[in-house]
Chains A and B, each alone.
Chain A
Amino acid sequence: MASPRHAGPPDGGWGWMIVAGCFLVTICTRAVTRCISIFFVEFQAYFGQDYARTAWIHSIVDCATMLCAPLGSLISNHVSCQVGIMLGGLLASTGLILSSFATRLEHLYLSLGVLTGLGFALCYSPAIAMVGKYFNKRKALAYGIAMSGSGIGTFILAPVVQLLIEQFSWRGALLILGGFVLNLCVCGALMRPIALKEDHKTAPEFLEQDYVPEAQKQDLKRMSICSPLIKVWSHECLCYCSWKEYDFLLMPGFMVLAVSVLFMAYGCSPLFVYLVPYALSVGVSHHQAAFLMSILGVIDIIGNITFGWLTDRRCLKKHRHFCYLFAVGMDGLCCLFLPVLRNFPLLVPFSFTFGYFDGAYVTLIPVVTADVVGTSSLSSALGVVYFLHAIPYLVSPPVAGWLVDTTGSYTASFLLCGFSMIFSSTLLCFARLAKKIKRTHLQSLSSDTHTKQHVWTNGAIAYSVTAELDQKDVEFLAVDTNSYSNR
């Protein structure tokens, strides 16, 4: 019944089916969320409400998807990834089908906003975490392909949704969209669980064979306590499980990442909302403004895949963290320049650059998170990271709008976004520098004592030395000992 233990992530084989599944999940969640705004004109006409009240639906879906992301990773950790995603697909589909029978706008808030958003949340972060489990060497490329689903999905789905509305009116279109979202269940079925040797935090990867059984025993013990299907749900079991799952929260590396994600999400979200109004205000025509958004979308896709492929190259792999903060920093810089770009020929290169680096850092978020917390808690960590996106997404566009209204121009809000993103990337940069200094200090310490012991270590001694260091340093020393033992 138990699947065989893999020596490491397969980096291929069934992994590509997982990537395809994640690609479809991204289409069904992110692209469908963006296409909901196409329905707004119909809702406005039918329910007789103004734009502001109908636009709440989109905010509620986005917010629910991000806020409930930890719930999604919780369910997929405890029960199974397959069950979690299939449940999410059923919920989202039910939400869309119910909203096709809505008689009031408030019904849409509940069914299309809360229910569908919750369904999407149950699918999104577990699917992304699953890709991380199946790939190691080509992780960034796999993520790039998987995340490009949102761009490609929006590109394809937008005209299709428009066509559906013309043929079947918004009720029929929502019904058929509900059917389409049911494909999330197919993606869920694809997410075959994989048990990796590194699925426990007690022993590092480089340890030799005879050490594994004890780690396996510990892992089994942990799994049997936490598996709800076998034992009784006792209070201490829950506490132990949730603590064990979320102890990465206290990791300093993760805390720095969390704060930087907050600022980055704050900086990037108003830009998509205010690019078109800003372009219109400086005299660009409607068609050209729409073209700017299309460029943004298409280059986003290209950025996803190419940056993913680039950061998988051996030369850049060690510097993935740096590539991530470089992408975020470049986005912030573009934002800072935006107020001086006042005509269409200048806004086009802005769209190119911003779109490319936006796609780039979106690809690298799961990769960087995996590098910080390791693959076993990736699901829960991603849940928390996407949860941290929710509040800035909710708060930032209205604040930017308020700034535009009070100052009368877009300069203040764009400057704020730019500085927010640059701060996010400098924070990560400093944290990395601090770590490097600490590591070189430790390296100088460990290189003094017992270099010869490393050659014939039987794991126990190496373990006692590395016990106090965190994950990254363990990996670093692993590389070191491997190079020693290979000689």
Chain B
Amino acid sequence: MPAAFSGKRLRLLLCLSLSFSLSGGSPAERMMATQTVNQQTHGSPSDHLTLGHNISTPGPDLATKVFKQASGGNVSDVTFVEYEVLLPGVSGTSVEKNITLDHGTRIELSCRLDNKYSHLKSLQVTWKRGNETVRHINKTETSWSIQLRISDNSKLGSYSCTLKGEEEISATFHLQVPKIEGKEKPIISYEGDTAIMICKSFGYTPIAWTWYMTNGSEQIAINDTLLANKYVIHRISANVTHMKILKLTKEDSGVYWCEAAFELGKSKGKLKLKVLSLMVPLKPFLAIVAEVVILVTIIFLYEIYSKKKEKSAEAEKEFDQVEQLNSEESNGLENSSARHRKI
């Protein structure tokens, strides 16, 4: 009996520890996370339930981003995102935040004043997009927020909240489509060769890709079915597109654009192509070959010259030795004849 009970307690402990570990992060973060996350387990399964890391340090340019699950019926296929900015107490400085959206969302932007500045009285808050003022501001004790439904390109832009009191404090949210990066350095290729241009989208999946070439100041879309033996466009994966240009000529040099179409708009990346002739790398190559040939010739000539010098030095030495031997022999002969004579 005690064994079974202890077993159950163990299992309970395990379950508890598992749930703690699932809520992720370090203990400090975990406590913060439970404050701001709405764990509504009843809801449409298509929504994402992500626990955000709520790092609320008193820095002016840190925002907390928290995902909430949609609890409604007819917007169940759209995620709801909340962005919050902590305002600095210092006037004159402006806080900016870039938010990237690739599909329709309901979004809540809020400006929150830190607790230490709550002594600032008589604050008037306005939300603006350009010159247009946004109504329906939700106000709490320290935060002011607006809710927007972004469904197409016209709703994107810069939204700013301004707090007018004794001083003026403002923050701006920039809502944009995802940016596509092209290549700053030009792609080099050669006449007759094939050039491959690659465009990638990081993190967001575009609906379609289109390639444009620049003719003067116009941008002309490239139709690869029409010019199938010149251009080949491949969508390698959802986020990557390739364009191959075959049989390059000098006229193909120029600027090309790859455009990614998202639900909320389009985004372009710039690529430059430069077509060189084969002579261009050949010149340095021939220069190096010439240098090698010259050096090898010099070294071999020097070797032959030093060998000749050694040979002549040796020949002289031998000549001297032979002469010495001869003189010794003649001396010896004289000595022996002298001895004979003496005897």
- A residues apposed to B, CB below 8 Å: 3-4, 45-46, 48, 86, 166-169, 171-173, 175-176, 178-180, 182-183, 185-186, 189-190, 192
Please tell me if B288 contacts chain A, counting CB pairs below 8 Å. yes
Assess whether B288 is in contact with A179, with CB atoms less than 8 Å apart: yes
Closest to B282 in A: A175
> Which one, B190, B198, B285, contacts A178 given CB within 8 A?
B285
Q: How far is the CA of A192 from the CA of B306 in the complex (A)?
A: 11
Closest Cβ of chain A to B293, distance in Å, is: 9
Closest Cβ of chain B to A307, distance in Å, is: 31
Assess whether A186 is in contact with B280, with CB atoms less than 8 Å apart: no
The 10 nearest A-B residue pairs measured at CB: A172-B281, A179-B288, A169-B188, A189-B299, A179-B285, A168-B281, A186-B295, A182-B292, A189-B296, A175-B281
Closest Cβ of chain A to B148, distance in Å, is: 36
Assess whether B296 is in contact with A185, with CB atoms less than 8 Å apart: yes
Assess whether B288 is in contact with A166, with CB atoms less than 8 Å apart: no
Known: A4-B314, A168-B281. A45 touches B288 (CB 8 A): no
Q: How far is the CA of A325 from the CA of B292 in the complex (A)?
A: 40
Known: A186-B296, A189-B299, A189-B300. A176 touches B288 (CB 8 A): yes
Q: How far is the CA of A375 from the CA of B173 in the complex (A)?
A: 76
Q: Which residues of B contact A168 (CB under 8 A)?
A: 188, 276, 280-281
Q: How far is the CA of A167 from the CA of B188 in the complex (A)?
A: 7
Give 6 A-B contacts (CB < 8 Å), ordered by A residue: A45-B196, A45-B198, A169-B187, A172-B276, A186-B292, A186-B295
- Majority SS of interface residues in chain A? helix
Assess whether B299 is in contact with A190, with CB atoms less than 8 Å apart: yes
Closest Cβ of chain B to A468, distance in Å, is: 39
Assess whether A171 is in contact with B295, with CB atoms less than 8 Å apart: no
Q: How far is the CA of A45 from the CA of B296 in the complex (A)?
A: 39
Q: How far is the CA of A358 from the CA of B328 in the complex (A)?
A: 62
Please tell me if B289 contacts chain A, counting CB pairs below 8 Å. yes
Please tell me if B193 contacts chain A, counting CB pairs below 8 Å. yes
Q: How far is the CA of A172 from the CA of B188 in the complex (A)?
A: 10
Q: How far is the CA of A166 from the CA of B184 in the complex (A)?
A: 11
Closest to A47 in B: B196
Q: How far is the CA of A48 from the CA of B185 in the complex (A)?
A: 20
Closest to B314 in A: A4
Q: Which residues of B contact A176 (CB under 8 A)?
A: 281, 284-285, 288
Closest Cβ of chain B to A393, distance in Å, is: 30
Please tell me if B316 contacts chain A, counting CB pairs below 8 Å. no
| 14 extra A-B contacts, CB within 8 A, seeds A4-B310, A169-B276, A186-B295 | A3-B310, A46-B196, A167-B188, A168-B280, A169-B187, A171-B193, A172-B276, A175-B281, A175-B282, A176-B281, A179-B288, A179-B289, A189-B300, A192-B303
Q: Which residues of B contact A182 (CB under 8 A)?
A: 288-289, 292
Interfacial residues of chain B within 278-310, with CB under 8 A of chain A in the complex? 280-282, 284-289, 292, 295-296, 299-300, 303, 307, 310
Q: Which residues of B contact A86 (CB under 8 A)?
A: 296
Q: How far is the CA of A264 from the CA of B194 in the complex (A)?
A: 45
Known: A46-B196, A182-B288. A169 touches B190 (CB 8 A): yes
Q: How far is the CA of A358 from the CA of B148 in the complex (A)?
A: 62
Q: Which residues of A contact B314 (CB under 8 A)?
A: 4
Assess whether B196 is in contact with A172, with CB atoms less than 8 Å apart: no
Closest to B294 in A: A186
Q: How far is the CA of A282 from the CA of B183 in the complex (A)?
A: 31
Closest Cβ of chain A to B127, distance in Å, is: 38
Q: Which residues of A contact B241 (CB under 8 A)?
A: none
Please tell me if B160 contacts chain A, counting CB pairs below 8 Å. no
Assess whether A186 is in contact with B299, with CB atoms less than 8 Å apart: yes
Q: How far is the CA of A188 from the CA of B75 in the complex (A)?
A: 77
Q: Which residues of A contact B194 (CB under 8 A)?
A: 46
B196, B284, B299, most chain A CB atoms within 10 A: B299
Known: A45-B198, A180-B288. A166 touches B303 (CB 8 A): no
Q: How far is the CA of A179 from the CA of B282 in the complex (A)?
A: 10
Q: Which residues of A contact B300 (CB under 8 A)?
A: 189
Q: Which residues of A contact B281 (CB under 8 A)?
A: 168, 171-173, 175-176
Please tell me if B189 contacts chain A, counting CB pairs below 8 Å. yes
Closest Cβ of chain A to B95, distance in Å, is: 27
Q: Which residues of B contact A189 (CB under 8 A)?
A: 295-296, 299-300, 303
